[in-house]
Amino acid sequence: MELGTSCFQSDLDFCPECGTILPLPGVQDKVTCVRCSFSIDVQDFEGKVVQSCVEFNRLGSVHVMIMDDGQEVKGPTIDRKCPHCGHEGMVYHTRQMRSADEGQTVFYTCGQCKFQEKEDS
């Protein structure tokens, strides 16, 4: 590893220069950070075990709420505190409200008081 130019010490999963997650080693001689171009010799990864975990929601974990106006809101529950009543746990769903090159809008609905808020990303 080229230690002379790094800003901080990190695990081999992260770039020691900028902290970006490094791509997995391939057939190239070096692993290069996509953000700052810092490179690490691929041999430094020899013997390293890479693990990943994907956590899926339980079947039936989608909640359905009927609003006062009869509108049905369904979606997964997230650990988010309602700013209106303080209840922990809000249902969320996303929509593409703006052009395709901009982020989605996330809508949160409180399961307790039905307060709704949106977050543009």
- 31-62 per-position pLDDT tens digit: 999 989 899 898 888 888 777 777 776 665 56
Q: What is the DSSP letter of 106?
A: E
- Rounded-to-integer distance, Cα 120 and Cα 106, Å: 6
Q: From the annotation, which residues make up the binding site?
A: 15, 18, 33, 36, 82, 85, 110, 113
Give the model's pLDDT for residue 75.
Answer: 76
pTM, rounded to two decimals: 0.43
Q: Is the pLDDT of residue 66 over 80?
A: no
Section 14-27 average pLDDT: 85
Q: Is the pLDDT of residue 1 over 50?
A: no
Q: Is the pLDDT of residue 15 over 50?
A: yes
CA 35 vs. chain centroid, Å, equals: 18
Q: From the annotation, which residues make up the binding site for Zn(2+)?
A: 15, 18, 33, 36, 82, 85, 110, 113
